[in-house]
């Protein structure tokens, strides 16, 4: 029996069981009731669809019952009214489906045939009909970004897909923030990523991504860490028996290159999948910075200019196996990654020194070279088990993962030369460490009542250990050699343990659905250090509630309200109590006493579909306490020191809007934008609070030029933003992409030209006591990328349309 027919057989048995259960409940209540059960599928993938609205109407269009499909796409309706009626099935971004029914005495328990929903966006190319998915679909507690809508992400990473999302910004150092915060967790296929934040997203090839879910108000089921929420990346899966695969390759005008592959074999209840990547992703920018620093009664003015480069080399291999035995589904996976991150530059420095006492001025010029290299080898293993007590969703899930990061070395290299080429100053520093992480989950789900509700509870544990040391050498001009400074040696061991319990209740009543939960976490943190002032132990128990409500007005209108409380745990590099130099004039140091951030987030989202067009509006408010931010202070003559601090509280209140316009059979328009007021109640420095009106706008056009030819023109406008010590100016740029499909759409070639008018500019200003700096970064543009993608056997040809990244710059933390 094939996988599809076998699962259809199992699903029909489950639907039959559900119908019998509902009928039994009706008999127990002593009422004459009719039940209708069924399943909803998505047309392109054939996968089940959760959170779909299913409404039962009487013949006079009076609403008499309502349900939403569960995680397996199954719905159940119950009514005490007989006679002619019809059901309406709808989901934002998909065409409405209606079905006539007749409830009679002989048909009290009806099992409806599978219902297939089709995307409501249809593009015609000659005589062929090609379905185009909505780029963004909204569900109860998340929004789903379809990777197939972004051809300009071809050859890129998950960051390239996310960048077009409202309120998402990527700074000049490639760090992604959402509504002003970089505190988010990354999951891949339901499992936590090996590294955090932007570093995780830049390791996921765009060609392997099916969709990305942004969960900005996560439920209590999810771990509480990450105040901006959770980014869940879902990779492509094989749905049919046999072999399938894909291979992607990319090269660019700044020497980026990538090759990645995914291959899968499926036979009945067994699926094996292997993927790998070998890549180098590069950025090149022109850098210009002016600093005014007062230290030791001397005003130093430094002008630095030159070229900055960065690249990340990644070599990865992952293999996983899933299999089913009776009511149990087992999974196991192994992964190995070797990553090298490099950044550096060649800069020319012109310095002026003015004594505040005598007024005397002197000047000097230097040439500098700085280089930072970070490399690590990661070995990871995952195992999981799902046990189904029955076919109505009653189940228990258990999972465990562990990974070991070996040979994690950070090397810092700075040299300063006189104009005649002789060396004036320099540093060499090494941080050598190992890291061990383990995490386990136990999740229980039990349906309630007539399957319109469910109870969930679970346990979670997490442990992380990092052990390392730090040494630094300084150049001695007197003897022309580098000398070890033992007084700056640092030895550290860091440990974090978390134990958590959660419970959740959810249900649907007619047009109304809700989900409420509470999570309790016991957190232990300990830093051992050879410096007594840096040692500390931190223990705390916290509660994290969540709530989500949905009201369905009709088939085309839905309102969602969500709330959650979250935390951002400071990472070890926030706390490392030693000095490192990223260039000769910029030093960094951690803060061992940094406290976690806490946030309360509230969102209200309205979705509306009008024929082939759609729109969504989200109103949000977020309050964050003990905001963690990098601050800059004078260190010594001409040199600044960057460190982490709890700078106060911040607030973000505003709106996000997305829309899709089907202008013609060959022309589709995507619109997205955000506007929010951002304020920092600044406890770090005296003076007024920092405020800004942040905005972002994307206006993109998709053109179907011919049967297998598509073009996309993107326009991005990014507004200003404030920080504790300054602001980042607005900028704009344009991208152009073209894709040609060949060999029955199995081979795709995509040409991307980013920042075609060379208008992208990163301008950052920082001001504080005895400090004033202004940094300008100009990316090398236009940036040209060529990518190829080939799929074989049962893998669907994916239409990777456009995403952007404002990640055009290199050199921010200077």
Q: Is there a contact between 151 and 161 (Cβ–Cβ < 8 Å)?
A: no
Pairing relationship of beta strands 639-664 and 586-589 according to DSSP bridges: parallel
Lowest model confidence (mean pLDDT) among 76-90, 423-437, 526-540, 752-766: 76-90
The alpha-helical segments, DSSP class H, found in 488-620 are: 572-575
Lowest model confidence (mean pLDDT) among 192-206, 638-652, 795-809: 795-809
Q: Is there a contact between 91 and 84 (Cβ–Cβ < 8 Å)?
A: no
Cβ burial of 769 (10 Å; 0-12, 13-18, 19+) is: exposed
pLDDT tens digit sequence for 309-350:
999 999 999 999 999 998 999 999 999 999 999 999 999 999
**588: pLDDT strictly greater than 70:** yes
795 secondary structure, DSSP code: P
pLDDT of residue 634: 84
Distance between CA atoms of residues 353 and 368, nearest Å: 18
What contacts 716, CB < 8 A, 6 or more positions away?
164, 696, 697, 698, 732, 733, 734, 735, 804, 806
pTM: 0.76
**Residues 488, 493, 494, 499: what is their CA dihedral angle, to the nearest 10 degrees?**
-170
pLDDT of residue 135: 60
**Residues 321, 325, 329, 333: what is their CA dihedral angle, to the nearest 10 degrees?**
-20
pLDDT of residue 804: 36
Edge-first strand listing for the sheet containing 229-235: 136-138, 143-146, 209-215, 229-235, 184-188, 191-192
pLDDT tens digit sequence for 183-217:
778 888 888 887 777 777 877 887 788 888 888 88
Over residues 99-121, the mean pLDDT reads 76
The alpha-helical segments, DSSP class H, found in 314-391 are: none
Nearest to residue 768, comparing CAs of 684, 656, 708? 684
Question: How far apart, in Å, are the Cα atoms of 76 and each of 139, 388, 446, 556, 588?
Answer: 19, 19, 16, 21, 59
Lowest model confidence (mean pLDDT) among 84-93, 455-464, 491-500, 734-743: 84-93
The encoded tokens of residue 45 equal: 């993938």
Pairing relationship of beta strands 257-267 and 762-768 according to DSSP bridges: unpaired
Q: Convert 659-692 into a string of H (helix), E (strand) and C (coil).
A: EEEEEECCEEEEEEEEEEEEEEEECCCCCCCEEE
Over residues 255-264, the mean pLDDT reads 92
Nearest to residue 424, comparing CAs of 350, 476, 348, 473? 476
What stretch of H or E contains 3?
helix 3-28
Distance between CA atoms of residues 27 and 21, nearest Å: 10
Average pLDDT, the chain: 82
Binning pLDDT at 50, 70 and 90, where does residue 85 land? confident
pLDDT of residue 3: 36
Nearest to residue 208, comparing CAs of 168, 271, 154? 154
Distance between CA atoms of residues 546 and 513, nearest Å: 14
The encoded tokens of residue 589 equal: 């140091």
The beta strand positions in 419-452, using DSSP E, are 423-448
**806: pLDDT strictly greater than 70:** no
Binning pLDDT at 50, 70 and 90, where does residue 242 land? confident
Distance between CA atoms of residues 722 and 695, nearest Å: 12
Question: Between 149 and 438, whose confidence is greater?
Answer: 438
What stretch of H or E contains 12?
helix 3-28
Share of the chain above pLDDT 90, in %: 37
Chain-centroid distance, C-alpha 375: 23
What stretch of H or E contains 18?
helix 3-28
Return the number of other C-beta atoms located less than 10 Å from residue 658's C-beta. Answer: 24
The encoded tokens of residue 679 equal: 């304020």
Distance between CA atoms of residues 772 and 765, nearest Å: 8
Place of tokens 């309360």: 600
Over residues 713-725, the mean pLDDT reads 84
pLDDT of residue 25: 37
Chain-centroid distance, C-alpha 550: 24
pLDDT of residue 583: 79
Pairing relationship of beta strands 721-722 and 34-42 according to DSSP bridges: unpaired
**538: pLDDT strictly greater than 60:** yes
Return the number of other C-beta atoms located less than 10 Å from residue 543's C-beta. Answer: 11
């Amino acid at each position: 029996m094939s996988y599809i027919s076998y699962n259809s057989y199992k699903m029909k048995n489950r639907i039959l069981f559900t119908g019998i259960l509902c009928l039994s409940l009706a008999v127990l209540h002593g009422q004459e009731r009719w039940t209708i059960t069924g399943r909803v599928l998505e047309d392109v993938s054939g996968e089940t669809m959760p959170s779909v609205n299913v409404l039962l109407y009487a013949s006079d269009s009076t609403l008499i019952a309502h349900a939403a499909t569960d995680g397996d796409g199954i719905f159940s309706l119950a009514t005490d009214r007989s006679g002619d009626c019809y059901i309406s099935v709808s989901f934002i971004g998909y065409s409405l489906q209606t079905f006539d029914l007749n409830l009679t005495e002989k048909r009290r328990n009806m099992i409806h045939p599978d219902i297939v929903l089709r995307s409501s966006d249809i593009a015609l190319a000659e005589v062929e009909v090609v379905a185009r998915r909505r780029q963004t679909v909204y569900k109860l507690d998340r929004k789903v970004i379809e990777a197939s809508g972004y051809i300009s992400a071809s050859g890129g990473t998950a960051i390239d897909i996310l960048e077009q999302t409202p309120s998402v910004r990527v700074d000049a150092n490639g760090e992604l923030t959402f509504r002003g915060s970089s505190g988010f967790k990354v999951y891949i296929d339901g499992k936590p990523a090996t590294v955090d934040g932007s570093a995780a997203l830049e390791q996921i090839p765009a060609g392997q991504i099916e969709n990305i879910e942004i969960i900005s108000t996560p439920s209590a089921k999810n771990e509480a860490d990450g105040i901006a929420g959770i980014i869940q990346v879902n990779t492509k899966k094989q749905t049919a028996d046999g072999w399938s695969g894909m291979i992607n390759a990319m090269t660019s005008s700044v020497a980026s290159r990538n090759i990645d592959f995914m291959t899968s074999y499926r036979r009945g209840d067994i699926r094996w999948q292997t993927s790998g990547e070998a890549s180098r992703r590069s950025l090149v920018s022109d850098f210009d910075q002016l600093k005014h620093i007062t230290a030791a009664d001397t005003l130093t003015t430094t002008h630095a200019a030159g070229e900055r480069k960065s690249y990340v080399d990644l070599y990865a291999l992952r293999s996983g196996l899933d299999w089913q035995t009776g009511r149990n589904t087992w999974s196991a996976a192994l992964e190995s990654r070797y990553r090298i991150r490099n950044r550096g530059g060649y800069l020319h420095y012109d310095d002026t020194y003015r004594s505040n006492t005598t007024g005397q001025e002197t000047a000097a010029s230097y040439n500098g070279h700085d280089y930072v290299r970070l490399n690590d080898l990661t070995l990871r293993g995952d195992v999981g088990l799902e046990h189904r007590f029955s076919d109505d969703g009653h189940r228990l899930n258990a999972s465990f993962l562990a990974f070991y990061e070996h040979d994690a070395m950070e090397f810092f290299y700075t040299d300063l030369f006189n104009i005649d080429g002789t060396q004036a100053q320099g540093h060499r520093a090494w941080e050598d460490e190992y890291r061990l992480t383990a995490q386990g989950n136990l999740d229980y789900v039990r349906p309630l009542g007539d399957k319109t509700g469910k109870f969930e509870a679970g346990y979670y544990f997490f442990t992380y250990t990092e052990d390392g040391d730090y040494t630094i050498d300084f150049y001695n001009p007197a003897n022309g050699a580098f000398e070890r400074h033992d007084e700056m040696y640092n030895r550290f061991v860091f440990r974090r343990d978390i134990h958590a319990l959660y419970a959740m209740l959810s249900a649907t009543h007619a047009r109304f659905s809700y989900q409420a939960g509470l999570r309790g976490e016991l957190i232990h943190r300990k830093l051992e250090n050879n410096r007594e002032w840096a040692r500390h132990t931190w223990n705390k128990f916290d509660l994290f509630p969540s709530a989500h409500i949905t009201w369905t007005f009709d088939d085309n209108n839905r309102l969602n309200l969500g709330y959650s409380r979250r935390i951002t745990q400071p990472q070890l590099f926030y706390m490392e109590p030693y000095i490192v130099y990223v260039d000769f004039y910029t030093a960094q140091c951690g803060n061992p006493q940094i406290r976690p951030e806490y946030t309360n987030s509230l969102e209200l989202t309205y979705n509306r579909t009008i024929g082939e067009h759609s729109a969504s509006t989200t109103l949000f408010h977020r309050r964050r306490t003990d905001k963690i931010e990098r601050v800059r202070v004078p260190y010594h003559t001409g040199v600044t020191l960057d460190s982490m601090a709890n700078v106060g509280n911040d607030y973000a209140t505003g709106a996000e809007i997305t829309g899709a316009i089907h202008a013609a059979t060959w022309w589709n328009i995507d619109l997205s934008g955000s506007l929010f007021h951002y304020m920092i109640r600044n406890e770090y420095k005296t003076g007024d609070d920092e405020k800004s009106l942040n905005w972002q706008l994307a206006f993109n056009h998709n053109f179907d030029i011919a049967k297998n030819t598509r073009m996309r023109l993107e326009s991005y406008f990014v507004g200003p933003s404030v920080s504790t010590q300054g602001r980042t100016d607005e900028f704009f740029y344009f991208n152009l992409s073209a894709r040609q499909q060949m060999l029955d759409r199995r081979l795709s070639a995509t040409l991307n030209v980013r920042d075609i008018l060379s208008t992208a500019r990163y301008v950052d200003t920082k001001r504080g006591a005895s400090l004033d700096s202004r940094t300008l970064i100009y990316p090398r543009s236009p940036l040209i990328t060529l990518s190829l993608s080939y799929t074989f056997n049962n893998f669907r040809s994916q239409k990777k349309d456009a995403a952007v990244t404002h990640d055009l710059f290199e050199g921010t933390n200077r």
